Amino acid sequence: MAQELLSLQGLRIDGRRQNELRQIQCRLGVLERCDGSAYMLHGNTKVIASISGPKHPTKNSANKNRGGDEFIFNVRVKFATFSKNGERQKVVKNSKKLGEIEINLKNIFKSVILVEKYEKSQLDLNIEILQTDGSEICTVVNAATLALIDAGICMKEYICACTASLTNDGVALLDVSHLEEICGGPTLTIAALPRTGDHEQSVAYVELSQKFYLKDLNKIFDCALMGCEKIRGILDEAIRSNAFELVNSELTNN
Amino acid sequence: MANIKINLLMNKAKYTSDLGENNCRIYTTGEVITEQKDFMRGHGTYVEDGLIKSSVVGVVRQINKLISVVPLKSKYVGEIGDVVIGRVTEIQKKRWKIDTNSRLDSVLLISSINLPGGELRRRNAEDEQSMRKLLQEEDLLSAEVQNVYVDGSLSLHTRSLKYGKLSQGILISVSPSLIKRRKNHFHNLPCGVSVIIGNNGYIWISPIVNVEIEGQGGFAQSLDAISKSDREAIVRIKNCVQALASCYVMIYDTSITFAYEESLKYEAKELLNHDTMYEIGFNTKLKLMQQE
Amino acid sequence: MKETILSNNERVFVEKSIEEVLRIDKRQLTEFRNLGIFFGKKYGSVLVSLGDTRVFANVSCEVNIPKTTRPNEGTVFINVEMSNEKMSESCIVTTRILERTIRDSRCIDLESLCIIAEEKVWNLRVDVSILNNEGNVTDCACIAAVSALAHFKRPDCTTSGDGEFIIHKSSEKDLIPTVLHHYPICMTYALFKGKIPIADPTLLEERVTNAGLTLGINSYKEICSLHMTGVSLTSPFLIQKCSEMAAERAKHVVEFIKSTLEQDSIDREKSNVKGFKQSIILTNVTSNFCDEQSIDNNAEEISEVASNHDEIIVVSQEQKFKKIDENTISTTKWKDENEETSSSDSEIITLSQSNQEKSKVESMQIDSSDDEEKETIILN
């Protein structure tokens, strides 16, 4: 099933150009009972993220083992059973893949949240992936960023994540879908704080699967970072329109 | 036959975009506010490379040289003198731990309550043993913030007869940013309902309480039956407050009264529809704007 | 077992010294520790040591049903175990990195593991056990897994149609080695404050900054996997720099693995299988060890002093011996022997304090310079 990743006219399997992102839509504050929530559509990948906290630490046995005044950040990621195309997804306890995603999310956000302000408190992040079509980790990171902002958690910057791939001819493709992941080449996922100017101190997470030549690392990196910038613009717009809605009503009355 | 309504998440209406202009400058996370030279940084900001940057999404508030960013939605941050409503989570040695919708649980020391019978004496070991008789886990109470500790947790007290354990009524939780700080937080509304608006976003609606519980120190629970008309009024007020909260209208006695008046043309249970909520919120806002 | 707490002094010391381009164990910032690969008697078992970190890997095979999405390919299962906790964080991370580096980069020829398409395939299982964690377990585990896979030979089998097949013993038919397209090696760089990469961190360095970058590279300069661990923010330039450094080293490591494999197969042909005992270091005294001291003394001076005592003290020159403790020494009466050999150079020396004292000496190992005899004397 070797399909052409990039046809002669420069179109990919789903009709996009090499540098185009899929359609992204997002909404903040979708769950009323949670302190912060967000819903994100990235092509056909759909994710809901919800934040509970910061609050007093619950009395789990896991929390007792930690020493002192630490900021407790719990992450839970779940794939819905109907999320994959076709087969029903079995619920596997202690799955290594999910465990790894949770650990990575913890590390990514701990590097951006101003942890000093939340000592002794607990923050719970719950992620439910409703539909998967490639770039799940990306969408999860973006949705979690939105949920954290909705909950009013102090952070240094937005974290945006994006994927990029490489064809056999060395052309970088932005934002891989599931089909491109399977029959294509390597997939690079980056979570970064897009900053203008030099990119120092901006990459929070990198993950690569399958192999490619070292000399192409530059290209694929640049492509993914550019994708992060674009996604940041989209998130920013969504946040501002949501904020206007709130500001209109409450704070102007103060 | 059940009456089911299905609302799509992406089509959730934006309730407030119809009214007014937005003059406020919104700062997002990581946006530069100003250089650090002449200013001090307050809540919601951080300093990097000599610049003050915002760490939350919100509106900048500048008081003289202090710059802080008020987030649109956040947990309750207490100040001395605030009235709060809380729920007991734990009983520890000589204190109760109270959940007040803030980052850390608040503390009610045994020395900060009024003893039953209104005595004035030092608390002894017997009082410690009988803490559970006064307040158990999951009890609701109203209190005032006495002190704020270094780590941000609050110390409460109930040293007045208007504070104490709450008995029969409905508790609603809204965002703390919707509550104004006012002189009085205990209101007896003309419709026969008493409302306590806690600064922490918890609002208690109950039937009007007669003041014959003095001498009990506010820890008695009156479990008398409440009449049907009272119950209807309470439920109506509760639905109105929820309508105001979902339309992001500030909640205080005037706004609740206006909303109540608006809601009289509907039945109490019809107020749960999204469209009705929107209408009530919208009309209340109009009235409030006209009043100014 | 709980980990000991890292003191603030240690943390500050390590951070400051890294800023001054110094490492605790005197390595360069980009230098890796010594790598040792020891194959066992059984095919597929290997012990790898990187400095003091020791990892053991074992490969076994069994017949299984293939995955529905890939009916012609065999499967590989990788399992990493640390001695104390079941499914700790680092265990999960290491397992996933190995899975990505080895499985997802398709270094093993899985189609050759197929017996009957859509029904029976070989499932290779790699079990990695961390024996001693002195930092950089990932690298060690990866080298161990890859070497074990390269060393492993599976039994031959013949299919007789109708879904039946026979697995042959090694005595009937030769074992088949696994085919590896390329050898992916992991390199870990710990990141200090997101700016300074330290190659091959020791346990102390790892705990001071738990941020790190693990790259999987093979000898053809192809990146097989890339993974950032821990809480840190770095720049893409740093990642590229690290990848280039890692690519250089990968070549050497792969050559080392291949040469060790060849050496092992040569040894097996000569029936000279050494097994794991090569990995044990023999020159250590394993208990109550203290520093070597060389003593240069004049024979005459000492025999003068000695003549006042009951025991005879004989001096030997140019001898190094490992003394346990100056004060608690030992004695036995070597009188007769020593009188005879008092003139020779290579003599045994015992110092005594008093005859009555029965002090304990665990062991003394004496190197005699001329005779090259090693005598181990245990004195009570």
Residues C299 and C220 in one domain: no
Compute the distance between CA of residue B154 and CA of residue B106 in angstroms, rounded to an integer: 5
Pairing of strands B95-99, B83-92: antiparallel
CA nearest to B181 within chain A: A254
pLDDT at C360: 35
**Alpha-carbon gap: B246 to the closest alpha carbon of chain A (Å):** 9
- Compare CB distances from C233 to A188, A204, A212 and report the shortest one's residue: A204
Which residues are registered as beta bridge partners of C153? Answer: C177
Of the residues A188, A209, A221, the best mutation for testing chain C's interface (the one with the most C CB atoms within 10 Å of its CB) is: A209
Check pLDDT > 60 for residue C341.
Answer: no
Check pLDDT > 50 for residue A252.
Answer: no
* Residue C3 lies inside a defined structural domain of this protein: no
pLDDT at C333: 33
Q: How confident is the model at residue A2 (pLDDT cuts 50, 70, 90)?
A: very low
Ranges A248-252, B86-90, B209-213, C216-220: which has the least confidence: A248-252
Of the residues C7, C189, C225, C231, the best mutation for testing chain A's interface (the one with the most A CB atoms within 10 Å of its CB) is: C231
Compute the distance between CA of residue C76 and CA of residue C61 in angstroms, rounded to an integer: 9
| pLDDT (mean) for B265-291 | 85
* Residue A177 lies inside a defined structural domain of this protein: yes
Check pLDDT > 90 for residue B156.
Answer: yes
* Residue A8 lies inside a defined structural domain of this protein: no
**Alpha-carbon gap: B87 to the closest alpha carbon of chain A (Å):** 13
Residues C270 and C365 in one domain: no
Per the prediction, chain A carries an average pLDDT of 84
Flag whether residue A201 sits within 8 Å of chain C, measured between CB atoms. Answer: yes
Neighbours of chain C (3+ CB pairs under 8 A): A
Q: How confident is the model at residue B239 (pLDDT cuts 50, 70, 90)?
A: very high
Q: How many domains does chain C have?
A: 2
- Compare CB distances from B19 to A35, A151, A248 and report the shortest one's residue: A248
Chain centroid to CA B2: how far?
A: 34
- Helix axes B228-246 and B274-291, enclosed angle (nearest 10): 80
* Residue C216 lies inside a defined structural domain of this protein: yes
Contact at CB, A218 and C89, closer than 8 angstroms: no
Q: How confident is the model at residue A68 (pLDDT cuts 50, 70, 90)?
A: low
* Residue A163 lies inside a defined structural domain of this protein: yes
* Residue C1 lies inside a defined structural domain of this protein: no
Assigned token pair, C116: 């009957």
| pLDDT (mean) for A78-97 | 80
Structural domain containing residue A167: 24-253
Check pLDDT > 90 for residue C57.
Answer: yes
* Residue C2 lies inside a defined structural domain of this protein: no
Compute the distance between CA of residue C223 and CA of residue A203 in angstroms, rounded to an integer: 18
Per the prediction, chain C carries an average pLDDT of 76
| pLDDT (mean) for A205-226 | 85
Q: How confident is the model at residue C85 (pLDDT cuts 50, 70, 90)?
A: low
Q: What's chain B look like in SS3? A: CCCCCCCCHHHCCCCCCCCCCCCCCEECCCCEEEECCCCEECCCEEEECCEEEECCCEEEEEECCEEEEEECCCCECCCCCCEEEEEEEEEECCEEEEECCECCCEEEEHHHCCCCCCCCCCCCHHHHHCHHHHCCCCCEEEEEEEEECCCCCEEEECCCCCCEECCCCEEEECCHHHECCCCCCEEEECCCEEEEECCCCEEEEEECCCCCCCCCCCCCCCCCCCCHHHHHHHHHHHHHHHHHHHCCCCECHHHHHHHHHHHCCCCHHHHHCHHHHHHHHHHHHHHHHHHC
The more confidently predicted of residues A213 and C307 is A213
Identify the CATH class of B13-71: mainly beta
The more confidently predicted of residues C323 and A55 is A55
Structural domain containing residue C357: 281-380
* Residue C85 lies inside a defined structural domain of this protein: yes
Q: How many residues does chain B have?
A: 292
Highest mean pLDDT among A9-13, A204-208, B118-122: A204-208
Residues C166 and C51 in one domain: yes
* Residue A6 lies inside a defined structural domain of this protein: no
Q: How confident is the model at residue A141 (pLDDT cuts 50, 70, 90)?
A: very high
Q: What's C235-276 look like in SS3? A: CHHHHHHHHHHHHHHHHHHHHHHHHHHHHHHHHHHCCCCCHH
Residues C80 and C229 in one domain: yes
Flag whether residue A236 sits within 8 Å of chain B, measured between CB atoms. Answer: yes
Q: How confident is the model at residue C270 (pLDDT cuts 50, 70, 90)?
A: confident
- Compare CB distances from A111 to C93, C218, C233 and report the shortest one's residue: C233
* Residue A17 lies inside a defined structural domain of this protein: no
| pLDDT (mean) for B150-173 | 90
Please give the single-letter amino acid code of residue A54.
P
Q: What's C128-156 look like in SS3? A: EEEEECCCCHHHHHHHHHHHHHHHCEECC
Q: How many domains does chain A have?
A: 1
Ranges A14-28, B204-218, C13-27: which has the least confidence: B204-218
Check pLDDT > 80 for residue B6.
Answer: no
Contact at CB, B10 and A39, closer than 8 angstroms: yes
pLDDT at A230: 92
Q: CATH number for the domain including A64?
A: 3.30.230.70
The last residue of one of the domains, among C276, C306, C328, is C276
Cα angle: C277, vertex C281, C287; to 5 degrees? 120
Compute the distance between CA of residue C361 and CA of residue C364 in angstroms, rounded to an integer: 8
pLDDT at A62: 65
Please identify which residue in the block is written with the tokens 């803490």.
Answer: B131
pLDDT at C283: 65
Residues C208 and C300 in one domain: no
| pLDDT (mean) for B132-155 | 91
Contact at CB, A103 and C194, closer than 8 angstroms: no
Neighbours of chain A (3+ CB pairs under 8 A): B, C
Contact at CB, B12 and A27, closer than 8 angstroms: yes
Check pLDDT > 50 for residue A37.
Answer: yes
C184 cis-preceded (ω within 30 degrees of 0): no
Region of residue B166 (phi > 0: left; psi between -120 and 50: alpha; otherwise: beta) = beta
pLDDT at C365: 34
- Compare CB distances from A210 to C104, C195, C221 and report the shortest one's residue: C104
pLDDT in tens, C218-237: 888 888 888 888 888 888 88
Interface of A with C in 94-153 (CB under 8 A): 94, 96-97, 99-100, 103, 107, 110-111
Percent of chain C with pLDDT over 90: 16
Q: How confident is the model at residue A77 (pLDDT cuts 50, 70, 90)?
A: very high
Which residues are registered as beta bridge partners of B240? Answer: none
Contact at CB, C223 and A211, closer than 8 angstroms: yes
pLDDT at B198: 94
| pLDDT (mean) for C316-340 | 38
Query: Measured between beta carbons, which residues in chain A are less than 8 angstroms from residue B24?
Result: 247, 251-252
pLDDT at C364: 36
* Residue A16 lies inside a defined structural domain of this protein: no
pLDDT in tens, B82-127: 999 999 999 998 899 999 999 999 999 988 888 777 777 777 888 7
Q: Give Cα separations from C43 to B231, C49, C150 (angstroms).
A: 81, 18, 9
Contact at CB, B26 and A30, closer than 8 angstroms: no
Contact at CB, A120 and B151, closer than 8 angstroms: yes
Ranges A7-11, A34-38, C199-203, C340-344: which has the least confidence: C340-344
Residues C246 and C360 in one domain: no
Assigned token pair, B221: 């629970």
Residues C360 and C228 in one domain: no
* Residue A7 lies inside a defined structural domain of this protein: no
Compute the distance between CA of residue B33 and CA of residue B27 in angstroms, rounded to an integer: 8
| pLDDT (mean) for C333-360 | 37
Q: Are A134 and A158 in contact (CB under 8 A)?
A: no
pTM: 0.82
Per the prediction, chain B carries an average pLDDT of 85
Residues C223 and C339 in one domain: no
pLDDT at A242: 84
Ranges A229-238, B12-21, B276-285, C115-124: which has the least confidence: B12-21
Compute the distance between CA of residue B285 and CA of residue B247 in angstroms, rounded to an integer: 9
pLDDT in tens, C101-131: 888 888 888 888 888 888 888 899 999 999 8
Biggest CA pair distance of chain A: 62
Residues C250 and C294 in one domain: no
Query: Measured between beta carbons, which residues in chain A are less than 8 angstroms from residue C240?
Result: 217-218, 221
| pLDDT (mean) for A160-184 | 85
Indicate the helix (H) or strand (E) that contains C13.
helix C8-19
End-to-end CA distance of chain B: 46
* Residue A19 lies inside a defined structural domain of this protein: no
Q: Are A169 and A212 in contact (CB under 8 A)?
A: no
Check pLDDT > 70 for residue C371.
Answer: no
**Alpha-carbon gap: C96 to the closest alpha carbon of chain A (Å):** 7
- Compare CB distances from A243 to B44, B57, B249 and report the shortest one's residue: B57
The last residue of one of the domains, among C252, C276, C300, is C276
Contact at CB, B16 and A32, closer than 8 angstroms: no
Pairing of strands B40-41, B66-71: parallel
Residues C291 and C234 in one domain: no
Size of interface A-B (CB pairs under 8 A): 129
Compute the distance between CA of residue C57 and CA of residue C125 in angstroms, rounded to an integer: 10
Neighbours of chain B (3+ CB pairs under 8 A): A
Query: Measured between beta carbons, which residues in chain A are less than 8 angstroms from residue C87?
Result: 94, 99
